[in-house]
Structure 1
Amino acid sequence: MKLQDDLGSPAPIGRDTIFTLGHSPDPDDAFMFYAIAANKIDLRHYKFEHRLEEIQTLNERALRGELHISAISIHAYASVTGKYALLPCGASMGDGYGPLIVTNQAPKTSDPRDFLRDRRIAVPGKMTSAFLALQLYLGSFRYVVVPFDRIFEAVKMGDADAGLIIHEGQLTYAEAGFRKVLDLGEWWKKRTGLPLPLGGNVLRKDIPPQIQRDLLAIVRESIEFGLAHRAEAVEHSMPYARNMNRTLASKFIGMYVNDYTRDYGETGREAIRRFLGEARAAGYINCDVAIEFVG
């Protein structure tokens, strides 16, 4: 089994291919892919190589079409529709909650826009859905790109006035000494009535159709196994739960591994259409997006 032939060019994709599976080293992704990593389900003789990298790196790799299956920001998906299709399972949706803007200052106004308009905001990557949501909320703004796990530090050190927080910081910001300025998922829900589509999983389109169906079934079964064996899957996720105890990690997983993760459904699909459609209309995405699902 090999990823490339001896000359370095891509090998034909077949049942003996070692499929690269990219996801972030976070408790929700670890939870979703636990059953694959631990051989808890029928893998149908397929082999997988897990690539754990932060979401901005996975987004960039998707632009190059490097991984067979990958977690991806919905924002970044708009740029890779020629190479990838979305799996109908594996969504990370913020249903009335989502990425936060936090600060260690005492805002003198109750209007988040007034406070943020002239502030420098530390963001975890320009291709993240959190960044796009903030653009839709605020328009143009000053920002500095910082690895997601160093945003608190950037604000504390004065490199930024506020931080755009994803992952576990949504639950730990107060303990770290920060104030919430805005919850983008709450804002989006109030304005649209829809969940905020943050992440999904994509599959390369050059994979043969039958293998695509098999891989979809495996990912779906892995998610279902985690939900059916929650305590076991949470325990597997704990090494990726930075600065979180088991209770907080379980809460975070519950926020982003839910019924939308099982299947987007029509509401989840409409949320993606609305999110990317508004971004296109505002000029934050420079092409029309043809959303395509596997299966």
Structure 2
Amino acid sequence: MALSLAVSPCPNDTFVFHALIHGLVPGAPGIDLTFADVDVTNTAAERGQFDLVKVSYAALPWLLDSYDLLPCGGALGRGCGPLVLTRGQRADLTGATVAVPGDRTTAYLLMRLWSAGHPPARIEVVPFHQIMPGVAAGRYDAGLVIHEARFTYQRYGLTALADLGEWWEADTGLPIPLGAILAKKGAVDPAEATGWIRGSLRHGWLDPAASQEFILANAQEMEPAVVKQHIELYVNEFTLDLGEDGLAAADALLGRAAAAGLTPAVPAFAGAKG
């Protein structure tokens, strides 16, 4: 029986999961694939909709009763944080209307922590591809963007008010935990799923040309040079194994969020499966 898998169509996910999706990982089950933005998967996972699912670390407090965090396959690293963009010069977000890609995304949680002393006046959840054009057109005072937008925002005439990854790393010394892979309890053995995903990732690293057609077909009109930058930034040693630094980063993010009253408290991740 096929396992249901939900990931984004972004190049890092299609690179990591290409071999698993296409039956190239020995011993792995068939995959019933769904592509969806992370704001959609955060909500779907709360309903228990998928066996394996990519979600925001910020959404974990609402999901860990039903899912196990896997130590691989996600998006976590250095120099890859969300950006707060504006059309003109601003000192902070006081009184601003800000477009964000989801209200349970790691990006939004980081922005709330960063802007605690100068919060925006209004938040609008906007499909990711509409954020930069909306800020450029003046529909929003600022926009919160992720992934490939850090390579392209200048084309819209926008300015980076803050790099939340730089802020996080300077404040904590830790990598930034963006996207996590979860396995549904009772449906997927976490250790087996970890093996399948690591096998898929290693296949991608050994034969990167094999996944290129699949990646480009789902890259939402992203040009090949940006696709390459995207994969190089977001597929890294933490994708293979969160390790002590990765788990510490997740603990720090959600510990700070709980202390600020932004999310429910969760146990430390030192016992993550796999």
TM-score bracket, shorter-length normalisation: over 0.9
Q: Report if aligned partners of 1:78, 1:289 keep a CA contact under 8 Å in 2.
A: no
Report what 1:10 is aligned to.
Answer: none
Q: Report if aligned partners of 2:4, 2:52 keep a CA contact under 8 Å in 1.
A: yes
Equivalent residue in structure 1 for 2:5, among 17, 21, 45: 21
Shift of 1:282: 0.6
What is the SS of the residue equivalent to 2:156? coil
Shift of 1:181: 1.2
Q: For structure 1, which runs of at least 5 residues remain unmatched after alignment?
A: 1-16, 108-113
Shift of 1:39: 2.2
Q: Report if aligned partners of 2:176, 2:249 keep a CA contact under 8 Å in 1.
A: yes
Report what 1:177 is aligned to.
Answer: 157
Report what 1:98 is aligned to.
Answer: 81
Counterpart CA distance in 2 for 1:288 and 1:200 is 15
Number of equivalences = 270
Counterpart CA distance in 2 for 1:181 and 1:226 is 35
Say whether residues 1:192 and 2:176 are aligned partners: no
Equivalent residue in structure 1 for 2:99, among 122, 133, 138: 122
List structure 1 segments (4+ residues) > 3 angstroms apart after TM superposition: 287-292
Equivalent residue in structure 1 for 2:16, among 27, 32, 49: 32
Q: For structure 2, which runs of at least 5 residues remain unmatched after alignment?
A: none
Q: Report if aligned partners of 2:219, 2:227 keep a CA contact under 8 Å in 1.
A: yes
Shift of 1:230: 2.3
Q: Read off the aligned partner of 2:20 and give its amino acid letter.
A: I
Q: Report if aligned partners of 2:107, 2:178 keep a CA contact under 8 Å in 1.
A: yes
User: Normalising by the residue count of structure 1, what TM-score does the alignment of the two structures yield?
Assistant: 0.87
Report what 2:133 is aligned to.
Answer: 153
Equivalent residue in structure 1 for 2:144, among 158, 164, 167: 164
Report what 1:86 is aligned to.
Answer: 69
Report what 1:60 is aligned to.
Answer: 43
Shift of 1:90: 1.1
Q: Read off the aligned partner of 2:203 and give its amino acid letter.
A: F
What is the SS of the residue equivalent to 1:202? strand
Select the structure of larger CA radius of gyration. 1
Counterpart CA distance in 2 for 1:243 and 1:59 is 24
Report what 1:278 is aligned to.
Answer: 256
Q: Report if aligned partners of 1:276, 1:289 keep a CA contact under 8 Å in 2.
A: no
User: Normalising by the residue count of structure 2, what TM-score does the alignment of the two structures yield?
Assistant: 0.93
Counterpart CA distance in 2 for 1:240 and 1:181 is 30
Q: Read off the aligned partner of 1:184 and give its amino acid letter.
A: L
Shift of 1:290: 4.9
Shift of 1:152: 1.2
Counterpart CA distance in 1 for 2:82 and 2:208 is 24
Q: Report if aligned partners of 1:195, 1:268 keep a CA contact under 8 Å in 2.
A: yes
Aligned residues: CA RMSD: 1.6
